[in-house]
Structure 1
């Protein structure tokens, strides 16, 4: 039986394209919501041109109506199955129009704490390129969780957390506390260069620091240690995506960070400022 989460602390929004990767993202979002007292909603946006085959307005409306019913039936079936298995309630919405604009407006309207997207294995090289993922990271002011299509968490309790940086910064501290409060594992800090600040904003949190010397292979070494230390979730604060003058980079993920994210093979949480 599905139950509404009482007074949820966090709102999670799964952006789905109905793929296997999106299905895994939804399943991971449900587990995350259960761990941090969250509520999950699903949003699916589709361009009318992908549905409408004829210029006739009446035929176009019929095509969209037919596609809406088909999409609604699939979402309802998938969601009801998950609700029954996990004892949660999941809302959903379907929209037709420019996909990026629809996503931006929906996020602006609903103000989720975390947007959740799935990463397809076949598109691992380009998943932080010019598509929806990069658009959400650049244009939408929210935390973004990217999950892998082949990795489903049975629970986010006692999670092994890693942070890209030499300290736990104030931004995102609350959600990191909520993620780590159920377990006793120390938080791992992965950084490149001299670590002038190996302490932590919240002194109650135990940390282990891994510092890698600067160089062309620094990110490869960092990614390797993320895997070796069995880190299950890597958090990347937005401060790591600013230039030396403190300005946010136009492309939120630079090439070296993108390469590292591609190699770690675990869910990544980008923490907004």
Structure 2
């Protein structure tokens, strides 16, 4: 059976270990392999130096980053149960990431969360770029909560109550989940009466008023219920108001967020 290809986009920092662990455990659940891509802006490394000095510094930083990644992969994937390939690149963030997506054709892409340097990519509209270049599933990984492949996952759904979807990856993850699942509904977006009637018995639903504190209150309930991963329909970002944009969800919520169909 063909392995699922998972592309992790991250810098090397204190959050990287959690991001890779989340990617590794998700890969174990989905039976896949990982491509770890670290991309840096040259301007983040060198300032106003001669061209020769710049090239020397980039080479040094390349070797340093490559060594750090190899060490991290060895420590996390100590049983070598998952194939993890890695590459370090220096250049324009958008160009490098776009080229990597086209080269590897991943099934699923993982980005770091709000406390990772990768989220500076959000300021460069990198999340928007990834969603444009990649029509499949995208996960914004938490650096606070680690997914564990060896135990049942605590899953939540935002503004929907479907257990079964057209996305096989989502269905596989749901099969590893604790029951009942938790559906978080914002009142103005609450599903139709027909969908309510079809809500599965093994699902708990929390309904929130749509206001300035909605995400804060939702985050508190997620923490109380130890939600590790929240499913969000990636199409909703095209129509919903700014506070529910994917970047804002990532900033406000501690769990990992999976954008899928």
TM-score interval w.r.t. the shorter chain?
A: 0.7 to 0.9
Note the C-alpha offset of 1:128. Answer: 8.4
**How do residues 169-188 of structure 1 correspond to structure 2 at under 5 angstroms?**
173-188=167-182
Q: How far has the Cα of 1:171 moved from its partner?
A: 5.6
User: 1:84-110: CA deviations, max 9, x gaps?
Assistant: 245322101122210121011111221
Structure 1 match to 2:49 = 54
1:198 corresponds in structure 2 to: 196
Find out whether 1:237 has 2:229 as its counterpart. Answer: no
Contact 2:215 2:252 in 1 (8 A): no
Whether 1:166 and 2:160 are equivalent positions in the alignment is yes
Q: Which whole-Å CA distance do the structure 2 matches of 1:227 and 1:137 have between them?
A: 28
Distance 1:60 1:127 in 2: 23
* CA RMSD of superposed structures (Å): 3.2
Q: 1:34 to 1:24 in 2, by over 3 A?
A: same
Please list the CA deviations of residues 194-243 of structure 1 after superposition, one character each: whole Å capped at 9, or x if unmatched: 43122669x7x833322223344443333332223322211111132232
Whole-angstrom CA distance in 1 between matches of 2:165 and 2:243:
23
**Partner SS for 1:77:** helix
Q: How far apart are residue 120 of structure 1 and its match?
A: 4.7
Q: Does 1:30 align with 2:30?
A: no
- Counterpart of 2:253 in structure 1 is 264
2:97 to 92, 96, 103: 103
CA contact (8 A) 2:138 2:258 kept: yes
For the pair 1:7 / 2:5, whether they are aligned, the reply is: no
Quick check: 1:213 aligned with 2:209?
yes
Residue among 104, 123, 136 paired with 1:130: 123
Match of 1:72 in 2: 66
Give the match's secondary structure for 1:214. coil
Larger deviation, residues 35-44 vs 222-231: 222-231
How far apart in 1 are the matches of 2:59 and 2:160? Answer: 52
Count of aligned pairs between the two proteins: 254
- Distance in 2 separating the partners of 1:120 and 1:43: 18
Greater helix share, structure number: 2
**Structure-1 residue corresponding to 2:183:** 189
Task: Compute the TM-score of the two structures, normalised by the length of structure 1.
Answer: 0.78
> How much does 1:111 deviate?
1.7
Pick one of 219, 226, 245 that aligns with 1:223: 219
Q: Structure 1 residue 187: deviation in Å? A: 2.4
Normalising by structure 2, report the TM-score.
0.81
Distance in structure 1 (CA, Å) of the matches to 2:207 and 2:120 = 27
Contact 1:195 1:211 in 2 (8 A): no
Farther off after superposition, 177-186 or 163-172: 163-172
Q: State the distance in 2 between where 1:61 and 1:159 align.
A: 46
Matched, 1:255 2:246: no
Gaps of 5+ in 2: none
Kept in 2: contact 1:148–1:266 (CA 8 A): yes
